Amino acid sequence: MIETDILVVGAGPAGSIAAKHAALGGADVLLIDKKSEIGSPKRCAEGVSKEGLNFLGIEPQLIWAVNEIEGIRLIAPDGTDVWLNDEIKLPEAGYILERKVFDKHMAMDAGRAGAKIKIKTLANALKKEGDSYIVNCESMGEELDIKAKILIGADGPESHIGRWAGLKTGTKPKDMESGVQFEMCNVKMEDPTVLEFYFGSVAPGGYVWIFPKGEDVANVGLGIIQSKADKTAYEYLVDFVKTCPATKDGKIVELNVGGDPVGGMIKDLSDDNILIVGDAAGQVHPLTGGGIINGMTCGMFAGEIAAKSIKKGDYSKKHLSEYDKRCKDLLEDKMKKYLKVRDYLESLSDDELNSVAAAFQNVEFKEISTAELVKKLVKVSPKALLKLGKLF
């Protein structure tokens, strides 16, 4: 049996940053992951905002921030496109990551801050014993029990840790986007610094993205809500890639599949001796499906609060609920609004999306953020005004 103050299960971005800040707070921390290589395989289109990294105090490094983004292009079902790049401020602009390198670097940061790391260590079960959790693991092929005063569940979208501890962490099928993606070369993008988003029946309940990683390399993928679709996500992607001029001659070098919980945060993020972070807690932007920055920000809060609890010797829900408060103050309102926007966008037919794109041709954008886009949408579409007018 190994004993530690804080055990973090899952060395994705949310878990690694939680481990880092818990260690910086003076706690004895162990970070485990079932993978033999942290970060691989990736399940991500790899887009992050500069603002987000900045807030987290993370300096971009060329080795993992592989392409800088300068704009976005929105494409309606009939091909009408809206370019948002020249002379427009893009507060959410950022980088395309190489997640396999980024995730490993974030784990290294945790290690450098003092956390211990165990790879190829799968959490199988847990039980409460007094004021601790005992987590039963399989580590490098051997059984291992780990006793921790505080457990941080950072085990991603399929999360078990929270559920095993009695928290309601499940995502309803209608809120779980099925994501599938090819990393491709020979992609003929119009501008390899611009993110492309395709809307409508190409991806019911979601959208198709082309996120450029280099001159001719891109993540080409989509997310759909399966109950709104009549094919699998993979079939939608194959059809898209075959017909889109940018990708039809592309060569696939990687396939990524994964779920993205876009239904909002779980109600209780903590309980006695436990905190849940990242995708496991539903800390994903309901509209974009982006979860790296939200998960890392909340992971940072979790690490700081867990370390404070260790110092105080109080691991009760009452003390740990400061974590719920900080996450909810940061995300809850925004998430509620964007869930409504998502429902609205999902209700639009291809024809209606074409009309919105046509109306956008005459709109001047000075700054582009998700909020600004919704504000402009409300201006050009009476239906949007009716449904979303009061939100932004």
Ligand X SMILES: Cc1cc2nc3c(=O)[nH]c(=O)nc-3n(C[C@H](O)[C@H](O)[C@H](O)COP(=O)(O)OP(=O)(O)OC[C@H]3O[C@@H](n4cnc5c(N)ncnc54)[C@H](O)[C@@H]3O)c2cc1C
- Kindly list the residues in this chain that would bind ligand X in the complex (CB under 6 A): 9-15, 32-35, 43-48, 122-123, 154-157, 160, 179, 181, 221, 256, 258, 260, 278-280, 284, 289-293, 295
Q: Which residue's CB is nearer to ligand X, number 221 or number 388?
A: 221
Q: Which residue's CB is nearer to ligand X, number 108 or number 359?
A: 108
The nearest distance, CB 160 to ligand X, in angstroms, is: 6
How is residue 385 annotated by DSSP?
Answer: H
Q: Which residue's CB is nearer to ligand X, number 180 or number 378?
A: 180
Buried b (16+ CB within 10 A) or exposed e, 166-198: ebebebeeebbbbbbbbbbeebebeebebbbbb
Q: Which residue's CB is nearer to ligand X, number 177 or number 354?
A: 177
The conformational region for residue 322 under phi > 0 = left, psi -120 to 50 = alpha, else beta, is: alpha
Q: Which residue's CB is nearer to ligand X, number 258 or number 263?
A: 258
The nearest distance, CB 245 to ligand X, in angstroms, is: 23
The nearest distance, CB 384 to ligand X, in angstroms, is: 25
Here the tokens at position 201 are 């029946």
Looking at the DSSP bridge assignments, the partners of residue 212 are: 218
State the alpha helices, DSSP H only, in the chain: 13-24, 50-55, 99-113, 161-164, 233-243, 292-312, 317-346, 350-360, 370-380, 382-388
- The amino acid at 91: P
Tell me the DSSP string of 156-196.
Answer: -TT--HHHHTT------GGGEEEEEEEEEES---S-TTEEE
The nearest distance, CB 364 to ligand X, in angstroms, is: 28
The nearest distance, CB 169 to ligand X, in angstroms, is: 12
Q: Which residue's CB is nearer to ligand X, number 80 or number 226?
A: 226
